[in-house]
Amino acid sequence: MLALPQFYLPDPLAQWPWKRELNPHYERVKPATEAWVRSFQFLNARSQRSFERCNFALLGGLAYPSIDRDRLRVACDLMALFYIFDYFTDKVDGKGARVYAEVVVDALRNPRAKRPHGEPKLGEITRQFWLHAMRNSCRSAQKRFITTFTKYAYAVIDEASDRAKGNIRRITDYLRLTRLTAGPYPCFFPLEMDLNLPDKVMAHPSIELLQSLAAESLVLGNDLYSYNIEQAAGHGGHNIITVVMNEKKVDLHHALDWVAEYHGQVLSEFQAQRRVLPSWGPITDRKVKKYVERLAQFIRGIDCWAFETERYFGTKGREVQKQRIVTLLPQTGALTPMLVPGKGFDT
């Protein structure tokens, strides 16, 4: 029997100065988040196992290592909410995705209103998440979260339409869309829940650029690690590797080289930009410094999680993280039980 082909997985964060950290409250928060998800009884046994094997609470613990226990619970619940939103939208077209997008947006905007009878449980899940989040976050962060999560939810409509039509976008257009559909901007909410940063600071071009670069890093990393299982399942069209191969007419190895080089440029620009931030006064500057450090740690934490759960590499994540060698899976046209299409910490 011929051996399956292999490819080398680039490591763009090899020189990233921020090292792995795990929030000290993770072990206590993880059971609470998982029990909260189970309480809605909407996942079948197979999907529940998938959720638990992906360990989205660990994602919260790694991506937000310095926030307190109550806010970590919000962060872990948010990671679960991304999975749940994907669970509802992963097999529908744009029209179907719009229905679910409108449900979550309405729940965020009206968290104290009882959800309509017969509505998908997604509405009540979102409502409960947001009520808890509101108790543990400043008003300025809440306002930005509603804006960014709304943009994310509605961007998933375009992703669902692409999936249904088999559309492969150009590189620039693809990255523009996936900076929204991967959900990075609402993920920045836990980073600022306790900082009360003014709108004029968060809307400053220097801060917006840092956020954009962190979002780009998340997209590139997710796509790099998810490519193998996506191409095997026939979902590779919404992945930067496929997009590069299609636009530049190159093979897998050259596409991987392109993505690795581009990802390295993104990370280098992030480090350069954080060194030239303007000043808003000593009190605000301390808050901004903390926020930017959390952004940098978020980038590292997302990368670590990819190898510490079974989301992308099954039980071989640690081995792949060390060796960087991946066996190309044969195309079967079906996802394994643990995997869910979609770009919110995607497959």
CATH number of the domain to which 88 belongs:
1.10.600.10
Q: Is residue 1 part of a domain?
A: no
Cβ burial of 292 (10 Å; 0-12, 13-18, 19+) is buried
| Cα–Cα distances in angstroms (integers) from residue 37 to residues 56, 71, 87, in the given order | 11, 17, 13
Series of mean pLDDT values for 10-residue runs along the chain (347 residues) = 79 96 98 95 86 94 98 98 90 86 97 96 97 98 97 87 81 91 94 97 97 97 94 82 95 96 98 96 98 98 97 95 94 50 42
- Domain membership of residue 79 as a residue range: 6-327
Residue 91 included in any domain? yes
Rg of the chain (C-alpha set): 19
Whether 338 is covered by a domain: the verdict is: no
- CA–CA gap between residue 164 and residue 17 (Å, rounded): 41
- How many domains would you assign to the chain? 1
Cβ atoms within 10 A of the Cβ of 134, count?
A: 16
Going by C-alpha positions, the residue among 116, 96, 117 that lies closest to residue 106 is 116
What pLDDT is recorded for position 3? 60
Within-domain flag for 110: yes
- Which residue(s) pair with 6 in the sheet? 327
Determine how many CB atoms are found less than 10 A away from the CB of residue 41: 9
Position 335 in a domain:
no
User: What totals of helices (H) and strands (E) does the chain contain, helices first?
Assistant: 16, 2
Among candidates 162, 112, 176, which has minimal Cα distance to 342? Answer: 162
Q: Which amino acid is at 1?
A: M
The answer to whether residue 56 is domain-embedded is: yes
What residues form DSSP beta bridges with 325?
8
Q: What pTM, to 2 d.p., does this model score?
A: 0.91
Q: Report residue 47 CA to chain centroid gap.
A: 19
Question: Does residue 184 belong to any structural domain of this protein?
Answer: yes
333 falls within a domain: no
